[in-house]
């Protein structure tokens, strides 16, 4: 991962593909994982979309995201059944042909016996023209990477293994730093003053997240984020001074 402090922020979109997520039958676990992963390597996840196993919806979302972000990651829809249409949709979005890829086929031949390599499993070797394969150390069947779009499996363990393989090849920006200050007050007690602090620190982002303590008392975590250590610490100091002042005034 090459971090270049002079470069623009590196951004990403995530496209989660699958009827089962939208019906609620499967509870997505990939959004939170990928969000945290990208943040940790200095890529800003800017937008997530979840769409059905529907060609028009997938192609449209993919084209919207890929023109806006440095990278687009997709999860789901690359298995062996009729509802696995992601690879074809990616080919369509890029306007390139798709066919069984000899490199993917070679990998599949290592994984499956000849009699297992039926029409369904051969679908998994279909890769849009011009794509590079994404290794799958979990169960071999590869994902792929075309243009700025990285196509991964939906099963979390497989997606995670693919992402580990891809990450070292990604351009990354300056990592977003983050510190959390518990306010020990309710959000509404400090909102006005916090807004003023936020305005004074445009180089930092300050988020406010209410929660209930285990004893049932309301509390608030203030999360300060910045790419600059100096800006982060200046904002933190200001937040802490504000908290002390509000506490003293109560």
Residues that bind a second copy (CB under 8 A): 16, 19-28, 31-40, 44-53, 57, 79-84, 112, 116, 118-121, 123-124, 155, 176, 178, 187-192, 194-195, 198-199, 205-210, 223, 225
Smaller CB separation from a second copy, 223 or 244: 223
Question: How far apart are CB 158 and a second copy at their closest, in Å?
Answer: 10
Sign of CA dihedral 226, 66, 137, 159: positive
Smaller CB separation from a second copy, 120 or 129: 120
Smaller CB separation from a second copy, 36 or 164: 36
Smaller CB separation from a second copy, 47 or 132: 47
Question: How far apart are CB 130 and a second copy at their closest, in Å?
Answer: 26
Separation between Cα atoms, residue 210 and residue 221, nearest integer Å: 6
Q: Which runs of consecutive H residues, i.e. helices, occur in the chain? A: 19-22, 30-40, 55-66, 86-94, 102-111, 119-123, 156-166, 187-200, 229-249
Question: How far apart are CB 85 and a second copy at their closest, in Å?
Answer: 11
Question: How far apart are CB 84 and a second copy at their closest, in Å?
Answer: 8
Q: Which residues pair with 152 in a beta bridge?
A: 75
Q: Are 96 and 136 in contact (CB under 8 A)?
A: no
Separation between Cα atoms, residue 112 and residue 67, nearest integer Å: 37
Smaller CB separation from a second copy, 1 or 37: 37
Separation between Cα atoms, residue 19 and residue 112, nearest integer Å: 28
Question: How far apart are CB 132 and a second copy at their closest, in Å?
Answer: 23
> With left for phi above 0 and alpha for psi between -120 and 50, is residue 28 left, alpha or beta?
beta
Residue 150 DSSP one-character state: E
Smaller CB separation from a second copy, 32 or 214: 32
Question: How far apart are CB 119 and a second copy at their closest, in Å?
Answer: 4
């Amino acid at each position: 991962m090459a971090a270049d402090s002079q470069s623009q922020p590196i951004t990403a979109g995530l496209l989660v593909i699958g009827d089962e997520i939208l019906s609620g039958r499967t509870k997505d676990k990939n959004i939170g994982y990928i969000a945290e992963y990208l943040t940790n390597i200095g890529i800003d996840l800017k937008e997530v979309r979840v769409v059905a196993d529907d060609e028009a919806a997938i192609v449209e979302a993919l084209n919207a995201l890929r023109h806006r972000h440095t990278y687009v990651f997709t999860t789901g829809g690359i298995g062996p059944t009729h509802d696995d249409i992601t690879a074809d949709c990616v080919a369509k979005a890029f306007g390139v042909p798709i066919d069984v890829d000899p490199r993917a086929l070679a990998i599949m031949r290592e994984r499956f016996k000849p009699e297992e390599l039926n029409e369904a499993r051969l679908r998994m070797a279909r890769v849009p023209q011009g794509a590079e394969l994404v290794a799958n150390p979990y169960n071999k069947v590869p994902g792929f990477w075309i243009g700025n779009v990285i196509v991964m499996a939906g099963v979390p363990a497989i997606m995670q293994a693919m992402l580990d393989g891809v990450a070292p090849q990604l351009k990354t920006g300056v990592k977003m730093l983050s510190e959390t200050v518990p306010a020990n007050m309710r959000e509404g007690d400090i909102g006005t003053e916090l807004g003023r602090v936020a305005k004074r620190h445009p180089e930092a982002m300050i988020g406010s997240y209410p929660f209930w303590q285990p004893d049932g008392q309301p509390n608030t975590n203030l999360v300060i984020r910045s790419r600059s250590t100096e800006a982060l610490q200046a904002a933190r100091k200001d937040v802490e001074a504000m908290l002390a002042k509000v506490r003293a005034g109560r």
